[in-house]
């Protein structure tokens, strides 16, 4: 069986990590499955894949409907005799549909990795309900619920948690955070990992830090944020400067293997206003680092408030600030939180489990079911 994965994403994030993990896991457990990834030439995902053993093909994508990318889909489908085309983002759907109009392609699978609702527009609904899409692999039950509102054949919707790859975990980093930034042992390092995109809502993060530092006058926390800069970054940095928080929240930008820094955190915080389920939560479960998060998307499916972490409504910096104070006033809770999270991870949320469930869906499609 040959699977042609198509990604039109130019950055590196949880969705791209999912593709990489899926290919690695299937190569290890089912070498008869040939995975080929088509990605955007010379962008971050291509650079990442070029350092792996994954069969990688590239095409330029200078505009959303770049004909060169469309033609590459057609050529690769024929070259590798693909049995299934796995689409990993909305732009990939459009490109594959256009390619299918010129050269009949094999059936599609689409991974729905976010909890954004599908827009109620004729063209958008046509795209998402394209007849060649045989399965929608949703990252959470919440993503499945939201997606179902726009999908005609709801029997095609499947929930498969992405999980994390426990065989590739590492604690190797180019430097130690406490050493590099001269952080006193009494100061708690609060980690934040995510690209500077609207969904991550780092405005709430900055408001949280402002409450802790400028209103509560606390000096026992430092926030370290890792993730790709975007067109939103300048405004975020300006807010930090205007609030005199430059020593309290550090933006490090893109760091290869950012999750390797997680063991150096005392806690992980997510201030997202929209999510599927962020990979960084699974990684924190593995490294036994407590998580405080907003309760968006599928996050409440894997974190139960007060049981294995703390949850807050989105855009509620006051609550997140109070939860940080509560967590470290009651550090005895941390051992229970991380133990339960790690146990759940190993039972339900590994990429080994994810890969086998995905392979089952591939086989169902290839067998015509």
pLDDT digits (tens, 9 = 90+) for 314-349: 999 999 999 999 999 999 999 999 999 999 999 999
> Does 168-348 carry CATH code 3.20.20.140?
no
Chain segment 162-220, per-residue pLDDT in tens: 989 898 899 999 999 999 999 999 999 999 999 999 999 999 999 999 999 999 999 99
- Whose CA is closest to 74, among 94, 54, 95? 95
Confidence of residue 366 (pLDDT cuts 50, 70, 90): very high
pLDDT given at position 368 = 83
- Residue 251: helix, strand or coil by DSSP? strand
**Is the confidence at residue 132, as pLDDT, over 70?**
yes
Does 137 have pLDDT greater than 70? Answer: yes
Query: What CATH number does domain 2-163+350-366 carry, 3.40.50.2000, 3.10.580.10, 1.20.1050.10, 3.30.70.270?
Result: 3.40.50.2000
| Delimiting residues of CATH 3.40.50.2000 domain(s) in the chain | 2-163+350-366, 168-348
Q: Indicate the burial class of 241 (C-beta count within 10 angstroms; 0-12, 13-18, 19 or more).
A: exposed
**What pLDDT shows up at residue 369?**
66
Enter the pTM of the model: 0.87
- What is the per-residue pLDDT across 256-294, written as a single tens digit (0 to 9) for each? 889 999 999 999 999 999 998 999 999 999 999 999 999
DSSP summary character for residue 213: I
**Phi, psi (deg, nearest 5) at residue 315:** 55, 45
């Amino acid at each position: 069986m040959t699977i042609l994965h198509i990604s039109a994403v130019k950055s590196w994030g949880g969705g791209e990590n999912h593709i990489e993990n899926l290919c690695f896991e299937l190569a290890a457990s089912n070498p008869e499955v040939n995975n080929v990834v088509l990605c955007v030439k010379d962008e971050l995902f291509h650079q990442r894949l070029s350092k792996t053993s994954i069969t990688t093909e590239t095409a330029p994508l200078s505009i959303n409907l770049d004909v060169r990318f469309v033609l590459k889909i057609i050529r690769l489908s024929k070259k590798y005799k693909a049995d299934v085309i796995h689409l990993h983002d909305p732009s990939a759907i459009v490109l594959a549909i256009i390619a299918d109009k010129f050269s009949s392609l094999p059936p599609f699978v689409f991974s729905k990795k976010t909890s954004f609702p599908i827009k109620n527009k004729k063209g958008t609904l046509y795209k998402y309900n394209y007849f060649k899409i045989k399965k929608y692999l949703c990252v959470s039950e919440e993503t499945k619920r939201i997606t179902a509102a726009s999908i005609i054949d709801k029997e095609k919707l499947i929930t498969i948690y992405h999980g994390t790859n426990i065989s590739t975990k590492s604690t190797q980093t180019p430097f130690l955070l406490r050493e590099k930034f001269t952080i006193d042992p009494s100061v708690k390092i609060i980690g934040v990992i995510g690209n500077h995109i609207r969904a991550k809502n780092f405005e709430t993060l900055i408001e949280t830090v402002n409450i802790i530092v400028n209103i509560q006058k606390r000096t026992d926390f430092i926030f370290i944020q890792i993730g790709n800069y975007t067109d939103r970054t300048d405004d975020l940095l300006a807010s930090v400067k205007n609030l005199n928080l430059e020593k309290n929240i550090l933006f490090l930008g893109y760091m290869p293997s950012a999750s390797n820094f997680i063991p150096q955190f005392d806690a992980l915080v997510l201030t997202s206003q929209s999510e599927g389920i962020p990979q960084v939560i699974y990684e924190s479960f593995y490294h036994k680092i407590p998580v405080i998060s907003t309760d968006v998307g599928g996050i409440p499916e894997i974190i139960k408030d007060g049981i294995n972490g703390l949850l807050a409504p989105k855009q509620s910096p006051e609550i997140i600030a109070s939860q940080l104070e509560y967590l470290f006033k009651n550090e005895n809770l941390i051992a229970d939180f991380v133990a339960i999270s790690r146990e759940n991870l190993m039972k339900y949320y590994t990429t080994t489990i994810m890969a086998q469930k995905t392979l089952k869906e591939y086989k169902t499609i290839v067998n015509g079911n």
